[in-house]
């Protein structure tokens, strides 16, 4: 055991996942060093200020930083355990872009001494933990995967399941799947996560744990694709998809999810590709991805038809984020739809209502025909309202909708 001031856990990547994880470890009494390549994030964490909005998280971060349990740096130091939570984007060919993982592993290789645990939390294709171990050992051939030796290194995979917006609730209470490259690695990882996880810790091998995370999100994607496909079929047949789903869900063994303008975020819209690119068997999973990816085009066509038939001059767009009540715009179909409409229709004025952003994001800000406005501003001056995100602020219809065309792609006002 190192001296008491030594670092117990180093979390590499202080984003939506890594920073709360680091704070929960610290709150459980561990001495935590958080590493990020972005100096603004390092400074913000050291000031005790959260770089992103997450209900209830600011107070926890402030507390663990004030107590001296968590500090951030750009430079990794020796630690008992390293937890990697860096981005794992998908490349154009739908395979993993592993450059962030490799960079994190390279920095671990510079400080590791033998006896440490390395945990990958980033969502990754099957086999990534094993590849990561091979890469580390290629940089440090003096270390070994064989357990119980002075120079042993232990590797595990521990996927994260928290929902943005509910991280304070779910980080400790969710059940966690942990897969070890061997049983000693699993036990070490289990002991580490037990320090703050109250849910069950479900042990398995690394590849099954990697697949578990991808399977969970593919399950969601396939089921949303079913709902989205129904919405296209219903539009063609003049059937209200919301009413249809409501009726079908009265069957005791049917539970159809909700359609929407597409699937976004950094998980459900991305993770299934890691399964698809690893096998030729994933036909349904691939088709679901394609159905969900095609939905924003359908929404754009519906809005364009409506603009053409009403000769609308002003269109209100409600919501830009990838889902309700968050500020996260990553892979957001709503943002992509708004960007396409504003750039393809320069003669139409777009009133954009997004309570979770301060300025128009992406290319929207550069379009003179788009303005970020309050919800109250749309009552007067628009002919079409396009609802893309079911934020709480939109649940009650604005008062005077009678003379407007409502295109509600979340079923908020239509049901």
Of the residues 213, 295, 323, 410, which is catalytic?
Answer: 213
Using CB under 6 A as the binding rule, whether residue 179 contacts ligand NAD is answered as: no
Using CB under 6 A as the binding rule, whether residue 205 contacts ligand NAD is answered as: no
Comparing CA positions, the residue from 352, 338, 339, 331 lying closest to residue 394 is 352
Q: Which is nearer to ligand NAD, 176 or 266 (CB)?
A: 266
Q: Which residue in 11, 17, 307, 317 binds ligand NAD (CB under 6 A)? A: 17
Residue 384 main-chain phi, psi, to 5 deg: -130, 140
Using CB under 6 A as the binding rule, whether residue 104 contacts ligand NAD is answered as: yes
Give the C-alpha separation, 123 to 144, whole Å: 25
CB of 104 to ligand NAD, least distance (A): 4
Q: Which is nearer to ligand NAD, 104 or 407 (CB)?
A: 104
Structure tokens at 5: 């001031």
Interacting span for ligand NAD (CB under 6 A) from 14-22, 242-250, 279-287, 393-401? 14-22
Q: Which residue in 123, 278, 332, 342 binds ligand NAD (CB under 6 A)? A: 123
Residues forming a β-bridge with 32: 9, 70
Give the C-alpha separation, 140 to 279, whole Å: 31
CB of 17 to ligand NAD, least distance (A): 4
- Element housing 12 (H / E): strand 9-12
Using CB under 6 A as the binding rule, whether residue 296 contacts ligand NAD is answered as: no
Give the C-alpha separation, 367 to 347, whole Å: 11
Using CB under 6 A as the binding rule, whether residue 32 contacts ligand NAD is answered as: no
Using CB under 6 A as the binding rule, whether residue 272 contacts ligand NAD is answered as: no
Using CB under 6 A as the binding rule, whether residue 28 contacts ligand NAD is answered as: no
Comparing CA positions, the residue from 259, 272, 177, 262 lying closest to residue 218 is 272
CB of 13 to ligand NAD, least distance (A): 3
Q: Is-contact 381 314, C-beta < 8 A? A: yes
- Residue nearest to ligand NAD according to CB distances in the complex: 15
End-to-end CA gap in the chain: 60
Q: Which is nearer to ligand NAD, 12 or 285 (CB)?
A: 12
Burial of 56 (0-12, 13-18, 19+ CB in 10 A): exposed
Interacting span for ligand NAD (CB under 6 A) from 16-24, 111-119, 150-158, 280-288? 16-24
Q: Which is nearer to ligand NAD, 116 or 160 (CB)?
A: 160
- Element housing 34 (H / E): strand 32-35
Annotation says 234 is catalytic: no
Q: Which is nearer to ligand NAD, 216 or 304 (CB)?
A: 216
Q: Which is nearer to ligand NAD, 264 or 355 (CB)?
A: 264
Strands (E), 38-186: 70-73, 81-84, 117-120, 154-157, 176-180
Structure tokens at 324: 């309700």
What number of chain residues touch ligand NAD (CB under 6 A)? 26
Q: Which residues contact 40 (CB under 8 A, 6 or more apart)?
A: 51
Interacting span for ligand NAD (CB under 6 A) from 99-107, 272-280, 297-305, 343-351? 99-107
Q: Is-contact 397 413, C-beta < 8 A? A: yes
Could you tell me the CA-to-CA distances from 205 to 177, 184, 276 in Å, in that order?
10, 11, 21
Interacting span for ligand NAD (CB under 6 A) from 30-38, 200-208, 255-263, 291-299? 30-38
CB of 160 to ligand NAD, least distance (A): 4
Give the C-alpha separation, 278 to 263, whole Å: 22
Q: Which residue in 10, 27, 30, 122 binds ligand NAD (CB under 6 A)? A: 122
> Hey, which residues between 33 and 52 contact ligand NAD (CB under 6 A)?
35-38, 41
**Binding pattern for the stretch 54-93 against ligand NAD, x by CB under 6 A and - elsewhere:** -------------------------------xxxx-----
Using CB under 6 A as the binding rule, whether residue 334 contacts ligand NAD is answered as: no
Q: Which is nearer to ligand NAD, 105 or 245 (CB)?
A: 105
Q: Is-contact 350 370, C-beta < 8 A? A: yes
Comparing CA positions, the residue from 81, 103, 86, 87 lying closest to residue 33 is 81
Using CB under 6 A as the binding rule, whether residue 100 contacts ligand NAD is answered as: yes
Residues annotated catalytic, as ranges: 213, 267
Binding residues vs ligand NAD (CB under 6 A): 12-18, 35-38, 41, 85-88, 100, 103-104, 121-123, 160, 164, 266-267
């Amino acid at each position: 055991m190192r001296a008491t001031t030594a670092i117990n856990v180093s979390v590499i990547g202080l984003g939506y996942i890594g920073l709360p994880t680091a704070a929960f470890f610290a709150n459980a009494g561990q001495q935590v060093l958080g590493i990020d390549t972005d100096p603004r994030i390092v400074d913000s964490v050291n000031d005790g200020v959260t770089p992103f909005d997450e209900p209830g998280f600011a107070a926890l971060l402030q507390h663990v930083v004030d107590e001296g349990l968590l500090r951030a740096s750009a430079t990794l130091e020796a630690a008992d355990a390293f937890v990697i939570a860096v981005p794992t984007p998908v490349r154009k060919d739908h395979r993993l872009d592993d450059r962030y993982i490799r960079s994190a592993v390279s920095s671990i290789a510079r400080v590791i001494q033998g006896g440490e645990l390395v945990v990958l939390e980033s969502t990754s294709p099957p086999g990534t933990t094993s590849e990561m171990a091979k890469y580390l050992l290629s940089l440090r051939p003096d270390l070994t995967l064989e357990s119980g030796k002075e120079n042993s290194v232990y590797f595990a995979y521990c996927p994260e399941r928290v929902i943005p917006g509910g991280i304070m609730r779910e980080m400790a209470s969710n059940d966690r799947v942990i897969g070890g490259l061997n049983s000693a690695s699993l036990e070490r990882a289990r002991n580490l996560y037990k320090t703050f996880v109250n849910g069950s810790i479900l042990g398995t091998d690394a590849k099954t744990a990697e697949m578990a995370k991808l399977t969970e999100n593919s399950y969601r994607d396939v089921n949303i694709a079913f709902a989205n496909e129904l919405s296209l079929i219903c539009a063609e047949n003049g059937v209200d998809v919301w009413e249809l789903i409501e009726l079908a869900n009265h069957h005791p063994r049917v539970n159809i999810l909700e359609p929407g303008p597409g699937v976004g975020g950094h998980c459900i819209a991305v993770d299934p590709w890691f399964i698809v690119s690893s096998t030729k068997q994933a036909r349904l999973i691939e088709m679901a991805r394609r159905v969900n990816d095609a939905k924003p085009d359908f929404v754009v066509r519906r809005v364009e038809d409506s603009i053409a038939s009403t000769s609308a001059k002003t269109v209100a767009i409600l919501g830009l984020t990838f889902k309700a009540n968050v500020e996260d715009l990553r892979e957001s179909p709503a943002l992509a739809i708004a960007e396409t409409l504003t750039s393809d229709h320069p003669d139409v004025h777009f009133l954009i209502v997004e309570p979770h952003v301060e300025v128009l994001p992406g290319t929207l800000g550069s379009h003179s025909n788009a303005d970020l406005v309050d919800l109250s501003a749309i009552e007067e001056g628009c002919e079409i309202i396009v609802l893309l995100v079911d934020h709480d602020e939109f649940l009650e219809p604005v008062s005077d909708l009678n003379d407007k065309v409502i295109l509600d792609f979340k079923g908020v006002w239509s049901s």
